[in-house]
Amino acid sequence: MNPGLAFDDVTCLRGGRILFEGLRFALGPGEAGLVLGPNGVGKSSLIRIAAGLLAPLGGRVTGSGARALLAEAAALDAERTLANALAFWAGLDGRRGAVAEALAAVGLAEIAAVPVRLLSTGQRRRAAFARVLASGAPVWLLDEPANGLDSASIAMLEARIAEHRAAGGIALIATHQPIALPGAQAIAL
């Protein structure tokens, strides 16, 4: 079955106020959605709804294929080595063997034995992205993936997203930073 993600008339309520309502879009294999808007408009909430972490007030979210989330927090055990912290999550997905390849893809293979607590902000962000890569999920939900990244790391991020889409994957990305996503569907909030 091909991966997919669709919002049908979705309304989001947070903190007692409606952030967006009647939101509709659909993404299929190889497609991307770029969620845009000012702070506080609901970009992160949209990603959380897509991940199933937040229930919409109205409407429905449908789709097929496993979803991988890159959120604000990396959710990596600070006391473990980078490789071991990623292996924990990859193990839950039955993909422990994917960790080394994911670390290499984000340029962190040489620091795999370093404890997560010693990583820089950019390294932590790339490590969180490596977690998405290692998951093997066809649907990527990326919330501000370029935060803390330098221009070379943003180029790497763009290249990995392009490869994912070329292989039939889906990416839904909320960002303030410019990220090259040719042909992406704009989702303005």
pLDDT digits over 73-83, tens only?
A: 888 999 999 99
What pLDDT does residue 2 have?
A: 85
- In order of 55, 168, 184, the CA distances from 162 in angstroms are 30, 10, 11
- Look at residue 152 and tell me whether its pLDDT is greater than 80: yes
Q: Which distant-in-sequence residues (6+ apart) come within 8 Å of 57 by Cβ?
A: 11, 12, 13, 18, 21
> What single DSSP character describes residue 136?
T
CA distance 155 to 72: 20
Torsion of CA 26, 163, 130, 176, to 10 degrees: -60
What pLDDT does residue 177 have?
A: 85
pLDDT digits over 19-52, tens only?
A: 999 999 999 999 999 999 988 899 999 999 999 9
What pLDDT does residue 101 have?
A: 97
140: its two tokens: 């990527």
CA distance 106 to 123: 9
The mean pLDDT of 6-21, rounded to a whole number, is 96
CA distance 61 to 123: 32
CA distance 144 to 154: 11
Q: What interhelical angle do 121-135 and 82-92 show, nearest 10?
A: 30
Q: What angle is formed at CA 160 by the lines to CA 158 and CA 165, rounded to 5 degrees?
A: 95
The structure tokens 């422990």 sit at 96
Percent pLDDT > 70 in the chain is: 100
Q: How does residue 180 score in pLDDT terms, banded at 50, 70 and 90?
A: very high
What pLDDT does residue 178 have?
A: 87
pLDDT digits over 101-145, tens only?
A: 999 999 999 999 999 999 999 999 999 999 999 999 999 999 999
Name the pairing type of β-strands 4-14 and 58-64.
Answer: antiparallel
Q: Which distant-in-sequence residues (6+ apart) come within 8 Å of 95 by Cβ?
A: 134, 135, 136
What pLDDT does residue 167 have?
A: 97
What pLDDT does residue 75 have?
A: 87
What pLDDT does residue 72 have?
A: 86
> What single DSSP character describes residue 140?
E
- Look at residue 181 and tell me whether its pLDDT is greater than 80: yes
What pLDDT does residue 148 have?
A: 92
What pLDDT does residue 122 have?
A: 95
Q: How does residue 176 score in pLDDT terms, banded at 50, 70 and 90?
A: confident
- Mean of pLDDT over the chain: 95
